[in-house]
Amino acid sequence: AGGHLHRHSGQRGCESKRMISLNEMAGLLQSGTVNINGATVKIRAVTASEQAEVLAAVPRPTPPLTKDPAKGSAAPKIENEKDPAHIAAMEKWYAEFRAACVAIACSMMLGEGEKGAKIPAGPVGGVERKGWIQTAAAEVAGRLPLGMIERLYRAQVRVGNGQPAEEETGTDPTTAG
């Protein structure tokens, strides 16, 4: 089951309707750039497999179980998503999940200089990649402000949707002006 590639001409209808290959579809999702204080950062969309890999390496915390106040003491316990420790763990996870995705999307080198490590090329879900993702999550979340992580995360999502990496505003939000 393939998709159809429609190339619109400014007229009614499409110029052509043909099946599109997976390689063509993936090729349509090109990389983009983000301007940070005058520097250009190249970014690409994180694939669905890579996001699943990040979720496996940086799992979402599960809330603690508590008694259901609306039921008797013999009733099964329910998840307490309002637990303060769980809320704190979710905030940390939120930052680290996005940080790891940003590290992949920007092809970040962890560490300093030429000794920095890019994500290993091994199989998705491999032990080396899992370790790199966990390190990236902690390092990026520990060194970049959440606002910058969010900005880069949103940029890779936009690229994955076939849109420009940054919204067209005419100004660089990271420079004084």
38: CB partners within 8 A, 6+ apart: 172, 175
What's this model's pTM, rounded to 2 decimal places? 0.77
**Residue type for 15, please?**
E
Q: What span, in angstroms and rounded, lies between the C-alpha atoms of 142 and 138?
A: 6
Instruction: With beta carbons less than 8 A apart as the criterion, state whether 86 and 64 touch.
Output: yes
Average pLDDT of the residues of the chain: 84
At 125-172, the pLDDT tens digits run: 888 999 999 999 999 999 999 999 999 999 999 999 888 898 766 554
Give 121's pLDDT tier (boundaries 50, 70, 90): confident
What local confidence, expressed as pLDDT, does residue 75 receive? 87
Tell me: pLDDT of 13 over 60: no
Closest CA to 17 of 26, 27, 8, 25: 8
Between 16 and 97, the more confident residue is 97
